[in-house]
Structure 1
């Protein structure tokens, strides 16, 4: 379970600064971490304010790097990225801003590459089942249904 170590305000702040410096975090993650460290609400407020003022914590920057990373590394579509950001309580303004990080041409190229790669792995002779398997795969990864169905028409 949680360690019973208690932290002074300064110790907690230093620990959280390192946590944020290692990779961009959203407010929700940092709040969770501070609660895990058993910090009192007043201390949490003070630390959160400090992190924002010192630019350790920046939701727009978090959203942008999250979107870039999940698109380029995990090959997620916009829907999945949006849903994951919403779960992290990111504002719609910051979500819009994050989606602008994804180049449209790269987006469509990635969908094409992903669809071709997956199609080669589907060993199904029934055309409808083949289509469904590819569609399910792409939709699960958050690709927009209109793009997915266009791609199916083109490939199968």
Structure 2
């Protein structure tokens, strides 16, 4: 569907590539963001596409289920996971993050990681709306092949 706008398709693919090759943010943190956004946005497509990937970066099925069921304070999640989830919820739900939440985030994450958390959340929120509004059919997952392919793209 994105290919209907070639300029946006190129930008989209570059962003995907960057998220898997150029972030300082650890892969596990990125996947916690994506799972949280897909849950909040009620985007089954995103969720399904990131189950295997999240498992490959150490997110257990029980932690995933806690996110899926919006049990964001569950013991299956680490303190860092819970902080990321709280931050992402604020990003998605409000125009500004509560000062207490932002102060805690600043104690744990570098400035670059904070920017990357916001950008990943925003990208996947936008993608979720693209997928849900256009009611895009869910593709069968291909394991980690698409991520591997995206990381090798030579985008001009």
Instruction: Please indicate, yes or no, whether the TM-score normalized by the shorter chain is above 0.5.
Output: no
**TM-score, normalization: structure 1?**
0.26
* Structure with the greater alpha carbon radius of gyration: 1
TM-score, normalised with respect to structure 2: 0.26
